[in-house]
Structure 1
């Protein structure tokens, strides 16, 4: 299994998909307990949700599961949300704080570094290369980082999560026009709730690549999974009707970002 797939487009928008992959090497899978084997913390069907919405968009997708290594965590292991519950670069618990490995089977430092080199690093090498290619062509690159999560996860946040969770690390990872274009559309999406820089302000990917002064703009979208799944538990099935309703708004967002690109140079 290749760590990453890259689908090259000719436009200024790059879709990052770090958490939709479900591949777990057998040597790791055999050490996971029943909780871990459920792979519940996958960003289920996010790649499918965004495919075809913006014909010129590129997509960089991690094929490995976040339990192997989390492609949206700081490779140095620094917490994204100090003082709050979260999962680590190489998770040993799920989003409910429950162990995912059989006792004594958790990865140690050397193994974590080996996983980082084998999986995390190739994903970011590919993503950085695609952003460089796009910026060279257009003078600007807009990274839209695609995520989803269960609507209710008490270990991570209180109460139900809004449907659209836009993150720009408090406005630092993109031009204000990009933030405004996304937020105006999520706020106007009838029947959906939204928040800017709430519980999710943008993960390591958004914070690392978002350098507006250099022509790299990044924004994260965390979708509550009730917006496009039939159920937020096994089998985590894609709901065509829900998804098509949501895709109208996602297409509007991505089209707006593409139209903004020439004005950001």
Structure 2
């Protein structure tokens, strides 16, 4: 099916190049909608509550570390950039797919009979999902060529209480390394130690969130590409109900931990590869 110029998708991501061998991927902060998704969303989905609100603002400090930053522009209700293109489930527990038909709380994403067509969803895959992942791949390849290694930090957030997805309240910081397969053990230890050196925020490694498709697909420590996902409980930097306001005071406290986490990751990479380790 050919697509008219009017239906073409432009600017699927925003990219800020950096100077250090670390890429921060932010796949779920986008709020752009295609016309068919915008017209088809249910009343429950209209607030876009499953968005990773304000994550680019929260991590803006990383530019001073030399990080490259990649931000998806389209809502996950159009297509989820952190799911595989074949839509195979990543978790055995409740989850959402490549084209989410339900919200995190289980309510329907679309009004009856208003889901996008297969052809439209193929367009989203070709013109949103593919360019985002091609950019990840090209940037990691550039870093490896220039530095000999690459670091990938996949940045996420979620409401702190979602009974359908997890029991009770989520820990404040949820680090995921695909059960230890997406990065060197020493890097996990550095990140855990940084979290353990403070008492303000709770944390867990490879708990409910072990890393989505991006972490699992690109974390290849045997090839000197190390990937980590961090799922933040939103209560620590914003209001979790509409209008989902950003809290400068809360965010400042959280950034006091996020900054040494990322700085520690960068320092670990520099020291490891300066010594010629593989």
Query: CA offsets, 1:113-134, max 9 Å, x none?
Result: 2211111111111111111111
After TM superposition, list the pairs within 5 Å mapping 1:135-214 onto structure 2.
Answer: 135-214=144-223
Q: Does 1:260 align with 2:268?
A: yes
Q: Does 1:35 align with 2:44?
A: yes
For residue 247 of structure 1, what is the aligned residue in structure 2? 255
- Find the residue that maps to 2:44 and give its secondary structure: helix
For 1:26 and 1:86, the matched residues in 2 are separated by 25
| CA-CA distance at 1:108 after TM superposition | 4.3
**Structure 1: runs of 5 or more not aligned:** none
For residue 5 of structure 2, what is the aligned residue in structure 1? none
Aligned residues: 263
- Find the residue that maps to 1:219 and give its secondary structure: strand
After TM superposition, list the pairs within 5 Å mapping 1:42-61 onto structure 2.
Answer: 42-55=51-64, 56-61=66-71
Q: Does 1:88 align with 2:97?
A: yes
For 2:198 and 2:84, the matched residues in 1 are separated by 32
Mapped contact 1:149–1:224 kept (Cα < 8 A): yes
Alpha-carbon distance change, 23 to 126 in structure 1, aligned in 2, over 3 angstroms: same
| CA-CA distance at 1:54 after TM superposition | 4.8
Q: Does 1:64 align with 2:59?
A: no
- Find the residue that maps to 2:190 and give its secondary structure: helix
| CA-CA distance at 1:106 after TM superposition | 1.7
Mapped contact 1:16–1:59 kept (Cα < 8 A): yes
Query: Larger radius of gyration, structure 1 or 2?
Result: 2
Computed over aligned residues only, the root mean square deviation of the Cα atoms, in angstroms, reads: 1.1
For residue 7 of structure 2, what is the aligned residue in structure 1? none
| CA-CA distance at 1:105 after TM superposition | 1.1
After TM superposition, list the pairs within 5 Å mapping 1:123-134 onto structure 2.
Answer: 123-134=132-143
- Find the residue that maps to 1:35 and give its secondary structure: coil
For residue 19 of structure 1, what is the aligned residue in structure 2? 28
Equivalent of residue 99 in structure 1, options 85, 108, 119: 108
- Find the residue that maps to 1:30 and give its secondary structure: helix
Mapped contact 1:162–1:195 kept (Cα < 8 A): yes
Per the normalisation by structure 1, the TM-score is 0.96
**Structure 2: runs of 5 or more not aligned:** 1-9
Per the normalisation by structure 2, the TM-score is 0.92
Mapped contact 1:174–1:212 kept (Cα < 8 A): yes
